[in-house]
Structure 1
Amino acid sequence: MAIEQSPLRRARNRAVGFLIEAAQQLEVSPVLKYTALSLFACRFWPSLIRSQEHNSNIHWLLQPIQESNLQLFALISLWISSKIHNSKALMLKRLKAWGDKVITDQHFTKRDFSEAVLNFEIGNAKTSFMCLEELFYQFRLEVAQVGKHLNFEACMDLMDLLYEEETMMLHCSSSNLAASILVTCYLITVPKQKWEFPVLSWGLLSAVEFSTACEEEEIMELVKSQLQKLNGGWQEHT
């Protein structure tokens, strides 16, 4: 039986889904998309919750907190991400035009977009996606021949699910999360007869640990959690 989510958590999860859809429609690169998800889900959202819990001043664009203004800040995450990664950032006009089409219950001006940027500290540490991308190519080229069977699209799909479902896994280190996603996708996408390691849970993790200096025990726990969620189904969004 699915655990009922709070209205605020449902709004958060819908905003993350909105961000993923925006990234697809605007055809941004994966690194831009996942940096935006990291900015929104791992920086902006926890900061917003802390402000609520401590009755701190909240940006006027978030008063009250509702789906439309969370969507605005999701788009701002994409805009900031494009400034970090692209020599030519996403045009505000294009971003706003797309937002005007899909955010139907509220109209935001260019000034609103500009003011919303001030709610972020622009700058970004190495994201889980960057770690995953590096680990994926290292695994394919240096660690195992069977790496050619590993599907990177499946890795990104799993990362999307982790962002859409508010999970504590997102709060572990970027390298550990990336390593666990790689192992999970190895288990579910590479045919068993192709496995090169006699005991996957130890052999592959040893290779991952050697490559990233991650802690094997934590990676194993993350892999177990991901497999349980994939096998048992994610909590229903109500």
Structure 2
Amino acid sequence: MKRARCTCLRSRVIQLLIRSSQLLEVTPIVKYSALSLFADRFYPALSRLKDRKVTKNWLLHPIEECNLQLFALVSLWISSKIHDSPPLSVKKFKSLGDKFIKEQHYTMGDILEAEIVLMQVLQFGIGMSKITFSSVEDLLVQFKAIAQVGEHVKFEACMDVMDLLYENEEISVLYSSPEALAASVVVVGYIITVPPQRWEFPVLPWVKFVTSCKEEDILDTVRVILKHIFEPQADYYVANG
């Protein structure tokens, strides 16, 4: 029961981050950098904290859903500061917090404090040189350059798959291997958006060659994605892909 509750909690916070990205109309790189900051790094790090000064901060002791929602918004703000020029103002995130976070009213000072706490938890390491989104984007550009069928692989479909993976904690661990996951997302995007009669392109061997990932690892991940997200169609897609 406790595990199910935690999974549901994480999913709700991720959904808030994604919804906020939509309302702010941020670019995909800002959105997925924020998801990487929060879901791939900050949230898992909370269970490994040893620094008493950090853990005793009121935003982490105890860790409430409303505080996690604040950290999700702060992750989006940090990402905007990394990728946007000029970045989104803190006032926009204050407004979103007032709208979506019902259990707690956060001031501008609280947002600034949450930014510092998040950075401390991450030990001030916020590099974004290698995230899954960037690898997916690069693969799609290359695919379109070498094969006409690449034009049929919908960027939006690949992003939808990435969002659903983030929302599902059980398979969000796939993000620990960005390049292999990116290859798998492109394969899934190909399967679900290209008409079956045009499945003549050897997409699996191609992504294996481009990424240097093992074909069996890519295929295993594709199966996991289809099973958990597109289960009714999984057997058909895998059998015919």
**TM-score, structure 2 as length reference:** 0.86
Question: For residues 28-65 of structure 1, what are the alpha-carbon distances to aligned partners after superposition, in whole Å with 9 as ceiling and x for unaligned?
Answer: 111100110011000001101223xx695524212222
- Deviation, 1:5, is 4.4
Q: State the partner residue of 2:184.
A: 180
Partners of 1:22 and 1:84 lie apart in 2 by 17
Q: State the partner residue of 1:84.
A: 82
- Deviation, 1:107, is 0.8
Query: Counterparts of 1:18-57 in structure 2 under 5 Å?
Result: 18-51=16-49, 57=54
- Deviation, 1:109, is 1.3
Partners of 1:209 and 1:170 lie apart in 2 by 17
- The secondary structure found in structure 2 opposite 1:68 is helix
Aligned AA (2:130): K
- Deviation, 1:215, is 2.1
Aligned AA (1:88): P
Aligned AA (1:164): E
Q: Percent identity, please.
A: 49
Query: Counterparts of 1:77-156 in structure 2 under 5 Å?
Result: 77-118=75-116, 119-120=118-119, 121=124, 122-142=126-146, 144-156=147-159
Structure 2 contact 132–175 (Cα < 8 Å) conserved: no
Q: State the partner residue of 1:220.
A: 219
Aligned AA (2:204): L
Partners of 2:106 and 2:25 lie apart in 1 by 22
Q: Which runs of 5+ in 2 are unaligned?
A: 233-241
Change (3 A) 1:106 1:91: same
Q: State the partner residue of 1:158.
A: 161
Higher relative contact order (CA 8 A, sep 6+): 1
Q: State the partner residue of 2:174.
A: 170
Would you say how many aligned residue pairs link Structure 1 and Structure 2? 223
Q: State the partner residue of 1:200.
A: none
Partners of 2:129 and 2:38 lie apart in 1 by 14
- Deviation, 1:7, is 2.1
Partners of 1:93 and 1:109 lie apart in 2 by 10
- The secondary structure found in structure 1 opposite 2:103 is coil
Partners of 1:41 and 1:13 lie apart in 2 by 10
Partners of 1:140 and 1:4 lie apart in 2 by 45
Partners of 1:98 and 1:84 lie apart in 2 by 20
Q: State the partner residue of 1:196.
A: 200
Question: For residues 117-147 of structure 1, what are the alpha-carbon distances to aligned partners after superposition, in whole Å with 9 as ceiling and x for unaligned?
Answer: 12222332321001101111111112x2111
Partners of 2:177 and 2:143 lie apart in 1 by 19
Structure 2 contact 181–221 (Cα < 8 Å) conserved: yes
Larger deviation, residues 24-33 vs 110-119: 110-119
Decide which structure has greater helix share. Answer: 2
